[in-house]
Amino acid sequence: MTGKRGAIVALLVLGAWYVSVILWAMNPQVDHVPTGVVDGKQTTQAVTCESPLSSDAGPSNPLPELADGRAYERPACQTVHDNAQRLLFLDTAVIAIGGGCFVIWRLRKTRRATGSVSVPSS
């Protein structure tokens, strides 16, 4: 797979990857917040959080009521939201860098093939 076909396939793969990342980032996340130990086992409560694209790191609904003796051991959604935003930023950076490298590579390859050389003016 060389030439234009390879270039098109590479761009389609990068585009499909980024579309899947954006679709993932548009969905709410779920955080399993520790709520204590019952009968020797750690218990958690599932909390629905805003999507990574949201600026709000809190839960999308009020926190569920817990049974007596149980309490949320950390703030809900903060860690999940922060990690998801980091992953979104990292994926965006990889796509941008990969796309930039690809464009530079194709431009250099095209210039070599056509024999055009840019000569700096003095």
Residue 25: what residue type?
A
> Distance between alpha carbon 1 and the CA centroid of its chain, in Å?
29
**pLDDT > 90: what percent of the chain?**
34
DSSP assignment of 39-95: TTEEEEEEEEE--TTSS--SBSSPPPP--TT---SS-SSHHHHHHHHHHHHHHHHHH
Distance CA 103, CA 98 (A): 9
Q: CA–CA distance from 67 to each of 34, 61, 75 (Å)?
A: 13, 18, 18
**Looking at residue 11, what is its pLDDT?**
81
d(CA 80, CA 2): 41
Question: Does the predicted model carry a pTM greater than 0.75?
Answer: no
Average pLDDT across the chain, whole number: 85
Per-residue model confidence as pLDDT tens digits over 29-86 = 999 999 998 889 999 999 999 998 888 888 888 998 988 888 999 999 999 999 999 9
